[in-house]
Every structure is written in C-alpha cells, then in structure tokens.
Chain A
C-alpha cells in the first residue's frame, strides 16, 4: 500500500505558489503526493496550466498525485481540459 508522503493544502488565493512548492517536494517524495483542494471553489486557466505541468513532472518522477476534496465544478473542468486522467481523486 502506497503511503502519502506529502500532504499539501491548496489555497485558492495562492494556488500557483502552492503548486510550485509542491513541485519542489516531488524530488524527495517517497510515496504519493496528496493535494487538498477542499478550499478551492473555482479554478483559473493559469492554475490549470500549472497543474498540467505539475502532472508532467510527477509522471516523470513516478509520483502519483492525488487530489482530495475537489468540488464537482472543478472536477468537471479537469474533465473538459482532459486533465482528470492525470490525477487520482479522493473525497
């Protein structure tokens, strides 16, 4: 069973910065990376861009990224931009 190596809460106001910080932990992560989206009400194009890049880096390093607490509106955006398959989702 994989362990959650890193658990980061994503703040809507500073989401890009938070994701950059998360990206820095990917090198040292030994297990899954969990990003807590429960406070994200809405997602912006710039965030999506960073998320896409982030997914690419995580793929490259073999780290599984789990998004927690994604609301259904944001989840639908992930589906529409075809990013949903790049992450795992937990409630």
Chain B
C-alpha cells in the first residue's frame, strides 16, 4: 500500500505570520501539532471511552464552580460572583444533562424507516475564542462539548479573562487526562496578541474556529477562510402584552436583566408595554427594587452609558451594578436598587438607551396598540439584535404567533426570562449553550444554540431503499367473445355513448345498446374519427352536464377512449386545467401537479376498445390535440384509467389487415418496452411476457385470417394485457422515436413503432453509453430480459448475445409476415428530406417522456443513429434461424 497524501494537500490559506517572531511561530506550531496528534489519537476512542472522561470533567467543573467564579469576577471586574457560580454550574451540570445520553461516536442516529444512519466524524483541532462576559462558564462548556465529540481545542481567552480561563482549561484538562483523554487535547494561549489569533485561525491543521466573543473576533474568524461558528450582538426586545401575568413577567425580567449584571447578550434591552398595563408594570418594578428614571435621568443615563459617537454601550458600564451605573451618571438612587428603568419614546440613535446594554439598565416603551408594540419590537430587533433573542410575555396565542413571525431571532422566549431562557435547559427545552448562533441576520451560519452537533461532521450513510412501486389497473375487466353483455350489470340512470361515425355505421353502437337497461336514458355522442380536440371534448362535457349522465361508454379506438377520459375529468372536476395537468414530470410519485380529487359529479367510464393495440381501455394516459396551438397535450394519471374495460373481440373482427398489423405491432412494442423498462416489476413482467407470447402466436393468424375468432380474441386480450404492463412500467425510446417520426411524416403510430423496433432492441441490448439512474432496477438487465423473452419464445441460442440476436430476427420475420415496410426509405421518403428532418426528430424524440423509462439513456447522437438505421431498414440479425425454423 502506497500513500500519497503529500500530493493531495489542499491549497492552503496563507499563514498570517506577520508580526510574529520565529520563536512565537514555533510555539504556536507546537500547540497545533500537539492538538492535532491528540485529535488523531482521539479518533480511536469509543463512545464508552469518551463518556468515561466526560463525567469526571463535569464533576471537577462543579467542584470548582465557585473558585472559578471568584477568579472571573476578580480578573474581569464584571458581573456577580454568585451568578457566575450559577453559570459555571449550568455550563457543566446542564450541559452534561443534555449530552450524557447522546451518542457522539460511531452511529449517532438511526432512521430505519428511511434506511439512513448518521455517523459522527470529529472535526479535529478547534480554535476557540472565549469572551470576557462569561469566561469560565464558556470554557467549561466548550471543554465538555469537545471531549464528548473527540476534538482537541486550543483556547484563546479574552485578554481580560486569561487567568481565570486558563485555570478553567487546566481543571478540565487534568480531569480529562486522569480519565484517559489524549495528551494535548486542550491547551490555552497565555497572554497573546491578535497576530497569534490570526496565525491560528488560518492554520491548515485547525478544522474549525469557534468564536464566542465580540464582533471583531467573530469577523476575524469568518474572514479567516476557515469554517467558523460565531455569535452575534444582541438587542433583545421584550413585548409585555396586556394579557400577560404581570407579576411573573416583572420578576422574570428583573431576574434576567440583573443576572450577572446583565452580561448575557440575550438579556432584555427594551420592554415594550401595552398602555393598559404600563403604569401597573412600572409600579411593580419599583416595588421590587427598580429605579424608574424621569426624563432628565433617562437623558443623563443615556449620555453616560452610551457612547454618543458610536451609539454603542460604554465598556466601563458593562457588567456593573445598577447603583454603580447610577453613580457614574450622577443619579440619586436607593442603595438596594437592582435595576435602572428608563422610559424611551422611540428607537434609534436619538434614543441612546434603545441600544444594547450589557448592564442593569432597561429601556421601557409605552405602546398604544398591539400593532405599535410589535413595530417597536421590530425596530429594536433591527437596531443591532438581528438573529439573536426576543422575548414576549402574553397569554394570547395569536399575538405570540405573530411576534414569532415578525421577530428575526434564533430564540423567541415566551413567558420566561430572556437571558437564562436563551441559555436553554432551565426555563425551556432549548439546547443548553454558551454560544448563541444568530443566523444570517447576525452574520452567522446558524441560529442554533451551539452544541455538540456543531462540533461534529455528521456523515450520513444512506442505504439503497427499495423504491415503492405500483400496479394499478381498472378493477373490472371483462374479456372474450360477447363480454359486452356485462354492460347489463352496470346500473345507470343516464348513459352517454361516445363513439365515432364508422362504428355507428357498422352497428357496434346497437350491439352495446342491446345490453343497456331500458330504464336507462341513452344518448349517443359521435365524435370525429381522429385524435380528440379540446373543442370536441368540451362538447362532450356539455352533453354530460346537460343529461346529468352517470355513465360514459367509450366505444372505439384509442382516440375515442382518450376523449372520453378527458370528458370524464372535466365533467367531474370542471376546474381541472388541462394545460397545467399536462406539465412534464420525472417521477409520477413526486410530480409537481396534482390531479383534482374533489369532484362535483361522479360518472363511471366504461371503455370498449374496437382495435387491438393501444390498450387505452386500461391505461392512465390520454392524448388531446390542441389545434389552436398546433400541439398535443398528453395527460397521465391513474385517475384517468377507465373504471370498467370490456375487451370483446366481436368489435375487432372487421378490422382491416393493415390496421391489424399496425395495432398488433403497437401491442408488441408496448410489451417489449415494458419488459425492459426501468420501471419494470415482476407484476408488469408477467403481463409483458404473456402478451409477447400471444402476439407471436396469434398476430400472424389474425393477419392472415381476420375472421379467426380465437386469434382475434387472443390479440384483443394481448393488447389489453400489454397495456396493463406499460400502464405501470411505461414504454421506452421506441415510442419516443415513433412519436416524433409519426407526427413529422404522418405515419400511423403502430407502423412507426414497427420501423424502429428491431433497431431499438439491438440498441437497448448493448452496453449503454450512458446508464439511466433508476431506483427500481438493480444493474443493467435489458439484454438478459430480451434473452428471457427469446427463451420464452423458444428461439434458441446459447449465449445472451445469441438469444438477443434471435429475438431481433424473430421480430423482423414477424414484421415481414405482416408486410410492414422494411425501412423508412420504403415509405417513399427521400434520404435528403429525412436527413433534413433529423435535427427536429431527435429534439422531439429526446423530449418525449416515453424515453425516460428506457433502460438506456439515449444520447442525441444515438437517437440520430437509430433514425438512420430505421431509414436504412432492418436485417440486423440476418443469418439467424427463423422463428418457424426454431419452433419447428
């Protein structure tokens, strides 16, 4: 085994070594190398190994929660020691509660019903920035996440929180090492510079940057070219709606806004209060220790804690007590004041306190209506807090829903404190975190609460699913001579017979009428003997409406039955838009267009075919001509399938020879194409194979002896059976070629199919130039299917190739017997004219949906070759024994 990893190294982002000494670079390289080795070794660990390490780390963090909190307050001069203890405990205990039963190694989730498994792949080395506001808690949380996910982390704490953070890292590292974690899994930069960060952010062996910090740090992370998790600035609007439980809301807001002196960026910033409860709310705030500022105090406060040049909060106020902030601003407040409340009249730079304040100063706004309140909340949300957090207190579900709709916030906290609520796991079921993703609004890639799943590459193992297939045919099929008698058993108040002039003239309509109850009102609608036009269909629908018919009997060839299918559709669902329903689709189950299910009328469609070929009596297809737009509209849906099919050969005894041959070959083509279709199934195979046998046996007889009842009956049945196959398996490229050619040169469909058939069998049996994706088939089987058909016909041959060749010969001999021209040239089409038509022919054939289920994806050039082969004519397998010789 040779390795060539050096050659496959990706292009690296330039190292940002500017301003770094060689010694410093060597130091940073050692850190990364150590972390990379630890991460690599970590990949060998099992879930049990990992879980054995995580728990003692959590316990160590809990034991040292107070120590670390004290260090943090002493070093950063921010926040409240008691609250920081709580944060450290949430970061360990609550994080553990969330992760303890989660799988993060190997298979992490299974979806058996989808044959899908998710597996975990560690990231490797994570470079993690931690903030000054929640320093130790963030470190503790990230260490637990990293070990749980088998990653190594290099920490870069905020410079004002380095000591407490490095202590937190040390405590976690010692606990982890003691219980088997790889050496070097955690490290922490000592006093460092932005150049250090830049160097590590761009290092080729750092897999992810997790930047929990200010906008500068987050921007640097995202600009590094590395995958990065970031956080965004907050400016949390709160809507205190009049139906809310005011007492609870006020306490929750105080809890949240004073928690660690407001240093959590999800804490409340501006509370928008409904006019009806405004005075009550402020009184309750005051009763619980808040100082309500008057206009002058609000102005003073705003000018003190918000930088007038930037509009952002002053750093000196961050995380300070309310009384200290009051003192800075020159306000006189009681010594036990918890919170300064500043009424504001708008949002924006003219109202400085509408900006984010990470200290216990809360703006309040009096709203005269729900609409105004929501708009002010939107203003606050857009004034620096997009994607972060929003809070609502209300009992009105409709208003809560509307608030959720209009707020762009990753966390919309309902009836609970914003800061502690957003952390997750305390007041709600959000995932516990110390990093709030703020989505694109906040310049981040996710709105999630960052958690273990963001520290993993999740691999999805997608096993091949067995695609659902179908077999749908009419639930009543009556066949054999005089099957039309079954019309007697179909009760109807009013029946319309759709037929065409020749059939009426031959007395076929009278035969059908004979079996309709005398109580049934019967109306005969004669339509032209051609592919149905929209105008004709709509006239039929008018008749159906006029007579309020409950049964249609379609007596005729494919055109009549197709017309009746569309009449039924439009009669039952007048709103059906034929143009829209004809929209193309790739997979019937996933098509964009849905056929109407609501019906204002109900009518039974009885199809009685008078030719043995199209099989329209059992198919879900209908073709319509739109003369105005000079195009065909093809509809396909199982709701179009007739309810009853009556396959009675008495109606085909008088078919002329040419029509017998053409429709018979159409039937054979249906069966052969369905047999090798990419949608073929055992259900359709049995239909296709049986139909092929029947055609080879009975079509020559029906052709030579038109009055042979058995042959006619069997061919009539064969056409229906083949249609059941292709109704469910579809057809293939033969039909695509025939449709294009037939339409262009006015050649009957069956005959056009016949001219293509031997060439298409040879084409499909060969190794495809391009395979067609198909969830329904395993491997390329067309050649084997043809060989099976050859065996079924006893054509002989030892190998698959011989059998395919014999099948082609048999088809060619059948075509000869039926006196079907051997080539397109024989139709009198000149080579020049045909060549001129080829570009259009291949374009139309390529777009034809029939080709989509062909076992071989036809390339444009191959379509041209097939047309040219058909022009030159058959004789592909000359030399093979004839069918008669074989069967003899």
Nearest B residue to A91, CB-CB: B1
Chain B residues within 8 Å of A, Cβ to Cβ: 1-6, 34, 36-41, 43-44, 124, 182-184
> In the complex, are the beta carbons of B5 and A81 less than 8 A apart?
no
> In the complex, are the beta carbons of B38 and A45 less than 8 A apart?
yes
Q: With A45-B182, A45-B184, A46-B183 known to touch, is A88 a contact of B40 (CB < 8 Å)? A: no
A49 to B6, CA, bound (A): 19
A45 to B34, CA, bound (A): 8
> In the complex, are the beta carbons of B40 and A77 less than 8 A apart?
yes
Nearest B residue to A90, CB-CB: B1
Task: Please encode chain A, from 6 to 41, with 1 for each CB lying within 8 Å of some chain B CB and 0 for all others.
Answer: 000000000000000000000000000000000000
**What are 17 A-B residue pairs whose CB atoms fall within 8 Å in the complex?**
A42-B44, A43-B44, A44-B182, A45-B37, A45-B38, A48-B37, A73-B43, A73-B44, A76-B43, A77-B44, A80-B43, A80-B124, A81-B37, A82-B5, A84-B5, A85-B4, A89-B3
Nearest B residue to A48, CB-CB: B37
The range of chain A's interface size is 20 to 34
A68 to B43, CA, bound (A): 21
Chain A residues contacting B124 (CB-CB under 8 Å) are 80
Chain B residues contacting A46 (CB-CB under 8 Å) are 183
A74 interface residue, CB < 8 Å from B? yes
A57-79 at interface with B (beta carbon < 8 Å): 73-74, 76-77, 79
Chain A residues contacting B6 (CB-CB under 8 Å) are 85
Chain B residues contacting A76 (CB-CB under 8 Å) are 40, 43
Nearest A residue to B5, CB-CB: A85
Q: How far is the CB of B286 from chain A (nearest CB, A)?
A: 60
Chain B residues contacting A43 (CB-CB under 8 Å) are 41, 44
Q: How far is the CB of A20 from chain B (nearest CB, A)?
A: 19
**Of the residues B1, B3, B4, B41, contact of A45 by C-beta under 8 Å:** B41
> In the complex, are the beta carbons of B183 and A45 less than 8 A apart?
yes
A42 to B40, CA, bound (A): 11
> In the complex, are the beta carbons of A80 and B36 less than 8 A apart?
yes
**Of the residues A44, A49, A80, A84, contact of B3 by C-beta under 8 Å:** A84
> In the complex, are the beta carbons of B41 and A48 less than 8 A apart?
yes
**Of the residues A80, A89, A91, contact of B40 by C-beta under 8 Å:** A80
Q: How far is the CB of B804 from chain A (nearest CB, A)?
A: 43
A3 to B283, CA, bound (A): 92
A81 to B6, CA, bound (A): 12
> In the complex, are the beta carbons of A79 and B5 less than 8 A apart?
yes
Chain A residues contacting B37 (CB-CB under 8 Å) are 45, 48-49, 81
Chain B residues contacting A80 (CB-CB under 8 Å) are 36, 39-40, 43, 124
> In the complex, are the beta carbons of B40 and A81 less than 8 A apart?
yes
Q: How far is the CB of A80 from chain B (nearest CB, A)?
A: 4
Q: How far is the CB of B8 from chain A (nearest CB, A)?
A: 10
A8 to B37, CA, bound (A): 25
> In the complex, are the beta carbons of A81 and B36 less than 8 A apart?
yes
Chain B residues contacting A88 (CB-CB under 8 Å) are 1-2
Chain B residues contacting A89 (CB-CB under 8 Å) are 1, 3
Q: How far is the CB of B508 from chain A (nearest CB, A)?
A: 74
> In the complex, are the beta carbons of B5 and A44 less than 8 A apart?
no
Q: How far is the CB of B69 from chain A (nearest CB, A)?
A: 33
Q: How far is the CB of A1 from chain B (nearest CB, A)?
A: 17
Q: How far is the CB of A6 from chain B (nearest CB, A)?
A: 20
Q: A48-B41, A49-B37 are in contact. List 6 more A-B contacts (CB 8 A).
A: A43-B41, A45-B182, A45-B183, A73-B44, A80-B39, A88-B1
Nearest B residue to A89, CB-CB: B1
Q: How far is the CB of B176 from chain A (nearest CB, A)?
A: 13
A67 to B37, CA, bound (A): 19
Interface centre among A46, A49, A80, A81 (most CB of B within 10 A): A80
Chain B residues contacting A91 (CB-CB under 8 Å) are 1
Nearest B residue to A75, CB-CB: B1
Q: How far is the CB of B223 from chain A (nearest CB, A)?
A: 27
A48 to B37, CA, bound (A): 8
Nearest B residue to A76, CB-CB: B43
Nearest A residue to B39, CB-CB: A80
> In the complex, are the beta carbons of A85 and B3 less than 8 A apart?
yes
Nearest B residue to A41, CB-CB: B44
A58 to B169, CA, bound (A): 38
Q: How far is the CB of B40 from chain A (nearest CB, A)?
A: 4
> In the complex, are the beta carbons of B41 and A44 less than 8 A apart?
yes
Nearest A residue to B37, CB-CB: A45
Chain B residues contacting A85 (CB-CB under 8 Å) are 3-6
Chain A residues contacting B4 (CB-CB under 8 Å) are 85
Q: How far is the CB of B203 from chain A (nearest CB, A)?
A: 14
Q: How far is the CB of A25 from chain B (nearest CB, A)?
A: 23
A27 to B124, CA, bound (A): 37
A2 to B39, CA, bound (A): 36
A44 to B41, CA, bound (A): 6
> In the complex, are the beta carbons of A74 and B40 less than 8 A apart?
no
A43 to B36, CA, bound (A): 14
Chain A residues contacting B40 (CB-CB under 8 Å) are 48, 76-77, 80-81
A63 to B34, CA, bound (A): 27
A80 to B257, CA, bound (A): 46
Chain B residues contacting A79 (CB-CB under 8 Å) are 3, 5
Chain B residues contacting A74 (CB-CB under 8 Å) are 44
A45 to B41, CA, bound (A): 7
Q: How far is the CB of A67 from chain B (nearest CB, A)?
A: 10
A80 to B5, CA, bound (A): 10
